[in-house]
Amino acid sequence: MFQLLPVEIYADRFKKNVVWEIPTVNIKDQPRYKYRGMHLDVARHFFDVETVKKYIDQLAQRKINYFHWHLTEDQGWRIEIKKYPKLTEVGAWRNGTLIGHYNDQPHQFTNEKYGGYYTQDEIKEIVKYASSKFITVIPEIEMPGHAQAAIAAYPELGCTGEKLNVMRKWGISDNVYCPTEETFEFLENVLTEVINLFPGKYIHIGGDECPKTQWKDSDFCQNLMKEEDLKDAYELQSYFINRIEKYLNSKGKQIIGWDEILEGGLAPNATVMSWRGTEGGIAAAKEKHDVIMTPTSHCYFDYYQSDHPEEPLAIGGFLPLEKVYSFDPTPKSLNDDEANYILGVQANVWTEYIPDLKQLEYMAFPRMDALAEVAWTNINQKSFEDFSYRMQKQFDRYKIQNINAANHFYELNASIEVINKIDVFLNTLATDSEIYYTNNGNTPTINDFKLNSTKGINITESGTIKALAFKDGKASGRVWESYFDLHKASGQQIELENMPHEKYSGNGPASLINGVKGSNERYGDAEWLGFNGKDFVAKIKFEKATDIKNINFRFFSGEGQWIYQPKSIRIFSNVDKTNVIVLTDLYQASKEKVIEKSVKVDLNQVKELSIKVENFGIIPEGNQGAGYPAWLFIDEITVN
């Protein structure tokens, strides 16, 4: 009804001279999924009661019916537990916060004490408010990892007994709950109070990113594993989750956990939130467990939504509006019976780099609108073109509600095609715009080159291209700019043996030889290709025999995000396959985000160049992501 009325219905006071009428319509509608969720992390950065209510208002407008409230973390405990007052006296406060990005070295911190928490009365107030909007609140109490704030309050809950501070930097702490009877008694007491505050069916218990280092070093844990006949630390985590589930089931509650709870054996009645892709959700559905799809590829709203260099700092990744809209939460690999276990979809807003309401709104909107339509509308009724048209009115609603939504509708998106030449195609989401460009480095005006959308811009020499969208003769959006550094491989053919991960496939393999370097600050743009645990193996085929004297590589380095430099590079040509150039022991600790490796060669009359870049491998103990395969990110391979 509100959407049919003039946008002034959303104003905070009555507007005069508005015709309050709606069109006569028939509406036949029903949701595709019964679970339509949005998440908010209040542990990394704290948001007060009024902000949470405003967030809930926006969920309700989009017919989102579950609010996943992430309340505990290494960096802060946000819910009052009366039996354990130190959880908020100590665990809710940290002695400073990381400045800049986690990958910036050395780490720097503010000197200000930071924190906050919700009293039980405030929790009840928010739960009641959400209920009035037909929204169920799901609390998340993290375990067995992401527990340093709790252990800082009660050191006996950890494996070392060491007195800790609440974690100041982002990432994952090795300090996890020790699975003692004392710990289980603590958690059961905490959950008893949580149950009394949240009347909904579900309690989220986390279960993700739990380092096993302290468990492996703990005599108690090793003895417990022998007593319970557990073969490894993953089965110990499953034992931990099973005990918590049994307790919550006895109280009439069901658990939800991140997809790591599949490792070591899935708890009997658990619902799985599949975040590391859809594979965990598929596996759980095949085991007849309920699933909520929330993969990083389509549902992480802390990722960049534009690759423009002026975007505010974010954790990484790249998730534009159209990609959110394209998501189908029900994988085609499931049969009809298995597909019934897909309860729905949820988007997550993690707040390491979201310190205030303004930035929260910028990251959540308009992507939340795309998520809402994914959750509600049947896939055969969806149209991104129609959605984009309707979003123009939605921005009027944002404005009158004073919501700081990110508007990239007039921002230029580039597609660079490399087929024996280099062509740049530019477009916007807005259909009412014209695009003008320059090739001399100047800011475009309507007196410059007008883009032919079917032919694009043919790049024949090195230089800077700038472009800008215009609406009704006025500049709209931000200037798009790219420097093209053409080299001997530009516009040639490239073939990859291992394709990049679908989340980080850029503009495809050709983006490695299109003359454009990726961002020096983030790896989620169209130029960087990411390989998870795989080597990079490529062949560059030249149209004409070519002499080569130098090959330059660029690698991204961000160990806090599991991105490592390679171990080695091997190069050989079709002319003399025994003439192999090998660079070994490449990995070295570095504070730089982009690592360049230049290889001098003496290869003549080359028609085919073969390259193998060796992935770092498994991340070692004591590092973020220990035990998981490292990522290898590579962009332009410059051949001269």
Distance CA 18, CA 620 (A): 64
Q: How crowded is residue 206: how many other Cβ atoms within 10 Å of its Cβ?
A: 25
Helix or strand or coil: residue 511?
A: helix
CATH class of 413-484: mainly beta
Helix or strand or coil: residue 139?
A: strand
| Residue 490 φ/ψ, nearest 5 degrees | -60, 130
pLDDT band at 160 (very low <50, low <70, confident <90, very high): very high
- pLDDT of residue 577 exceeding 70, the answer is no
pTM for the full predicted model: 0.88
Q: How crowded is residue 380: how many other Cβ atoms within 10 Å of its Cβ?
A: 6
Angle between helices 181-197 and 120-132 (to 10 degrees): 50
Closest Cα to residue 492, out of 422, 399, 564? 422
**AA letter at 147:** A
pLDDT tens by residue, 229-250: 999 999 999 999 999 999 999 9
Helix or strand or coil: residue 543?
A: strand
Distance CA 567, CA 46 (A): 41
- pLDDT of residue 576 exceeding 70, the answer is no
Task: Quote the pLDDT of residue 588.
Answer: 79
DSSP strand E in 260-325: where? 271-274, 291-293
Report the CATH architecture of 2-400.
Answer: Alpha-Beta Barrel (3.20)
- pLDDT of residue 607 exceeding 60, the answer is yes
DSSP strand E in 259-316: where? 271-274, 291-293
Residue matched to tokens 């020790």? 178
Task: Quote the pLDDT of residue 631.
Answer: 96
Closest Cα to residue 324, out of 304, 354, 350? 304
pLDDT tens by residue, 292-320: 999 999 999 999 999 888 899 999 889 99
Task: Quote the pLDDT of residue 578.
Answer: 56
Average pLDDT over residues 451-473: 92
What order do you get walking across the sheet with 474-484 strand by strand?
449-450, 434-438, 463-471, 474-484
Closest Cα to residue 230, out of 257, 212, 210, 207? 212
- Residues with Cβ within 8 Å of 12's Cβ and at least 6 positions away in sequence, in order, are none
Residue matched to tokens 């034992």? 239
| Residue 612 φ/ψ, nearest 5 degrees | -130, 120
> Under a CB-based contact definition with an 8 Å cutoff, are residues 606 and 456 in contact?
no
pLDDT band at 22 (very low <50, low <70, confident <90, very high): very high
Task: Quote the pLDDT of residue 574.
Answer: 80
Two structure tokens written together for 340: 């019934």
Average pLDDT over residues 6-10: 94
DSSP state of 513: G
Task: Quote the pLDDT of residue 589.
Answer: 76
Task: Quote the pLDDT of residue 104.
Answer: 85
- pLDDT of residue 594 exceeding 90, the answer is yes
CATH 2.60.40 in the chain, residue ranges: 413-484
Element (H, E) at 639: strand 638-639
Distance CA 172, CA 260 (A): 15
Angle between helices 219-227 and 233-250 (to 10 degrees): 70
- Specify the pairing of strand 638-639 against strand 66-70: unpaired
Identify the CATH assignment for 495-639 out of 3.40.50.10860, 3.40.50.1370, 1.10.3720.10, 2.60.120.1190: 2.60.120.1190
- pLDDT of residue 217 exceeding 90, the answer is yes
pLDDT tens by residue, 28-71: 999 999 999 999 999 999 999 999 999 999 999 999 999 999 99
CATH 2.60.120.1190 in the chain, residue ranges: 495-639
